[in-house]
Chains A and B, each alone.
Chain A
Amino acid sequence: MTPLQVFLQQLANGFTLGSIYALIALGYTMVYGVIQLINFAHGEVFMVGAYVTLALILALAALGAPWWLLLLAGCAGAMIACGLLGGVVERLAYRPIRQAPRLNALITAIGISFFLQNALMLIFGATDRQFPAVMPFIRWNIGGVTITLMQLVVWISGAVLMGALQVLVMSTKLGKAMRATAQDRTACALLGIPVDRIIALTFVIGSMLAAVGGTLFGLNYGTINFHDGYLTGMKAFTAAVLGGIGNIPGAMVGGLVLGLLEGLGAGYLSSQWKNVFTFLILVALLLFKPTGLLGERVAERA
């Protein structure tokens, strides 16, 4: 392989990873935008999505369903499960303490994260779980760069979902209500916007996107473990900050940029140090450009 081909190959791999990060980052950024909470449990919601997909695929494969049905059912099931989970968590854990000091919400989020992580471990076991190879393994060689069907699916589903979200937020009534709630919750309530329901829906939508991220993550990497959620969640959060937290196009850009940087870092530096690399980017970014690449939101909220 020529150096250019290596570069393009890493770019393709990074783009795949970046699409997954972006899908998870959207959940962080939406919730932060609306109630200024870093939802630490979001990484676990993503993991729940991956495990639900796995369970559905295994169950349906035993019945002999065709591969595309496995894929669609696995993804849809994960979206429903995670959407419900996000809504329930918001209702039971976050809503009652919305008026309490901010630190409490953070601790609560961490508690939920512990709970979900251990629930996953109890249900699915502590060892790595293999995803069956559902997708037919098709690959194309374009100028020496290998692109698999799987990667194509990741890119397309990522792009479609992000486009749909953008439409939802910018041009529907719900989206308008979400943006209004992010600006001023009290004023929204006075104008008759059902603030509680809007916030709950924000959690639901973010969790559904994370579920798709989980499905794609499992299919693409083949193995999942119950504690993958924490690190992937942290990276997705980095992506959200990178793009400017609270900013939806920013999360998409941030996810892609982070995925590309990581793909290139793993290819050219060492994969052992690539996590340090991510955290260094996160720290440096917060210190020198806390508004992120596209962010206009003021960062300082004590």
Chain B
Amino acid sequence: MEAPSLRARYLRWAVFAALAFFVPILHPNAYHLDVLTTSFLYALLALGLNLIVGLTGLLHLGYAAFFAIGAYTYGLLNLHAHWPFWIGVLPAAVVAGLFGAALGIPALRVRGDYLAIVTLGFGEIIRIVLTNLEQVTGGPNGLLGIDHPRLWIPGRGIFDFGVDSAPYYYLVLLTVGIVAWICVRLSRSRVGRAWVAIREDELAASCSGIPVLELKLLAQGCGGAIAGVAGAIFAAKQGTITPDSFDFILSVMVLAMVVLGGLGSIRGAIVGAILLGSLPEFLRGFDQYRMLIFGISMIVIMRLRPRGLFGAAQHAKPACKKAPLKHASAAT
């Protein structure tokens, strides 16, 4: 299959971006916009998890923990030190990224299903600690009254993002754009190709001189940092965060988005997130049956499209064609 030309590819992204940009103007429905904002927030998480599960092949079931750490980092810095969102988002990313890498160190010893369970255990431990450490995190009630982002616009004074969805929609959209671009660049870089090499055959990768351990940690750190950014945006949007928002179901949902989109595929992660993120909302007509239908659709999708919407093989090939893998192994 011939890969689409560079221009065609940029054109496709541009059309998508333009469409997304005009949604709030063409279809000014507050509720739908909120659903879409949440879906794009999911897309951010899916992009981050895709680096870990899709590119590097490390099955992670506790990803919601990094989202939580990002949210609580910004929340605590804002409540106690009055850090504004635009500054608070940086430590949120850094702390979540460090947690990602730090939790990755012990997890290096295990693989496959066992890694999945270890990460699940970490995710649960972090959630229970957030619930029980009442002096710091406010316990089950969480953190209240986190500031919304404020923006100084020349000539119009300070604009508070408030509770309306539209500003957050654009904020999240912009972040998804930046993160997706970073992911695309990263996946075609030497690091990204080394990640894919680890996924395909860890032994061969390490024999070719790829520093497997460091790169695995890097993948988990990058994935964690992206979740941290998403967490900070989430905390700023909601104003209130509770440990319940970061449960196992969220980790599973994000994983399902990545798998549905096709492991390793960046547009797959975004499309998967938008589909699964908005599906439960569109199923609201079925009201209480929606999670039931959601479960069935996960089963059916896995049966009908086992490689996801945009399978990994299609993604890996053009990257290899442009610069063969031996390039990565010749270095280091």
In whole angstroms, how far apart are the Cα atoms of A104 and B53 in the complex? 13
Is A104 a contact of B259 with CB atoms below 8 Å? yes
Which segment of A19-27, A113-121, A203-211 sits at the interface?
A: A113-121
Is A107 a contact of B256 with CB atoms below 8 Å? yes
Known pairs A110-B252, A111-B302; A283 contacts B122 (CB<8 A):
yes
In whole angstroms, how far apart are the Cα atoms of A38 and B118 in the complex? 13
Q: Mark B86-128, 1 if CB is under 8 A from A, else 0.
A: 0000000000000000000011011111101110111011001
Residue of A36, A102, A115, A283 ringed by the most chain B CB atoms within 10 A = A283
Is A122 a contact of B288 with CB atoms below 8 Å? yes
Given contacts A111-B256, A283-B125, 16 further A-B contacts (CB under 8 A): A101-B306, A102-B112, A103-B59, A106-B113, A106-B116, A107-B255, A108-B298, A108-B302, A110-B256, A111-B295, A111-B298, A111-B299, A112-B299, A114-B291, A290-B114, A299-B110
Known pairs A122-B289, A276-B132; A107 contacts B122 (CB<8 A):
no
Give B contacts to A, CB under 8 Å: 53, 59, 106-107, 109-114, 116-118, 120-122, 124-125, 128-129, 132, 202, 248, 252, 255-256, 259, 263, 288-289, 291-292, 294-299, 302-303, 306-307
Q: Please, which residue of chain A has its CB at the minimum distance from the CB of B260?
A: A107
Known pairs A36-B113, A103-B259, A287-B118; A302 contacts B295 (CB<8 A):
no
CB A153 to nearest CB in B, in angstroms, measures 31
Kindly state the interface size class of chain A when it binds its partner.
Answer: 35 or more
Is A275 a contact of B124 with CB atoms below 8 Å? yes
What are some 24 contacts across the A-B interface (CB < 8 A)? A36-B113, A38-B116, A38-B117, A93-B303, A97-B302, A97-B303, A104-B259, A108-B298, A111-B297, A112-B299, A115-B295, A117-B295, A118-B292, A122-B288, A230-B248, A234-B120, A282-B118, A286-B110, A287-B109, A290-B110, A290-B114, A302-B111, A302-B112, A302-B202
Q: Please, which residue of chain B has its CB at the minimum distance from the CB of A270?
A: B132
Find chain A residues with CB under 8 A from B259 CB. 103-104, 107
A221 in the interface (beta carbon within 8 A): no
CB B272 to nearest CB in A, in angstroms, measures 12
Give A contacts to B, CB under 8 Å: 36, 38, 93, 96-97, 100-108, 110-119, 121-122, 230, 234, 237, 241, 272-273, 275-276, 279-280, 282-283, 286-287, 290, 299-302
CB A35 to nearest CB in B, in angstroms, measures 12
In whole angstroms, how far apart are the Cα atoms of A275 and B288 in the complex? 30
Q: How many A-B residue pairs have CB under 8 A?
A: 123
The listed residue (A103, A115, A230, A287) touching B299 by CB distance below 8 A is: A115
In whole angstroms, how far apart are the Cα atoms of A115 and B298 in the complex? 10
Is A279 a contact of B110 with CB atoms below 8 Å? no
**Chain A: interface secondary structure?**
helix
Is A282 a contact of B117 with CB atoms below 8 Å? yes
Find chain B residues with CB under 8 A from A302 CB. 111-112, 202
In whole angstroms, how far apart are the Cα atoms of A290 and B116 in the complex? 13
Q: Please, which residue of chain A has its CB at the minimum distance from the CB of B249?
A: A114
Is A279 a contact of B252 with CB atoms below 8 Å? no
Is B112 a contact of A300 with CB atoms below 8 Å? yes
In whole angstroms, how far apart are the Cα atoms of A23 and B298 in the complex? 28
Is B121 a contact of A107 with CB atoms below 8 Å? no
In whole angstroms, how far apart are the Cα atoms of A230 and B127 in the complex? 15
Is B113 a contact of A102 with CB atoms below 8 Å? yes
Is A273 a contact of B132 with CB atoms below 8 Å? yes
Find chain A residues with CB under 8 A from B255 CB. 107
Residue of B122, B202, B291 ringed by the most chain A CB atoms within 10 A = B291
Is A97 a contact of B121 with CB atoms below 8 Å? no
In whole angstroms, how far apart are the Cα atoms of A197 and B324 in the complex? 46
Is B124 a contact of A279 with CB atoms below 8 Å? yes
Q: Please, which residue of chain B has its CB at the minimum distance from the CB of A275?
A: B128
Find chain B residues with CB under 8 A from A100 CB. 302, 306
The listed residue (B107, B128, B296) touching A111 by CB distance below 8 A is: B296
Find chain B residues with CB under 8 A from A93 CB. 299, 303
Find chain B residues with CB under 8 A from A107 CB. 255-256, 259, 298, 302
CB B140 to nearest CB in A, in angstroms, measures 11
Find chain B residues with CB under 8 A from A110 CB. 252, 256, 298
CB B206 to nearest CB in A, in angstroms, measures 13
Is B106 a contact of A114 with CB atoms below 8 Å? no
In whole angstroms, how far apart are the Cα atoms of A273 and B297 in the complex? 36
The listed residue (A108, A121, A283, A299) touching B106 by CB distance below 8 A is: A283
Is A114 a contact of B59 with CB atoms below 8 Å? no
Known pairs A282-B121, A286-B117, A286-B118; A113 contacts B256 (CB<8 A):
no
In whole angstroms, how far apart are the Cα atoms of A73 and B150 in the complex? 64
In whole angstroms, how far apart are the Cα atoms of A234 and B121 in the complex? 9
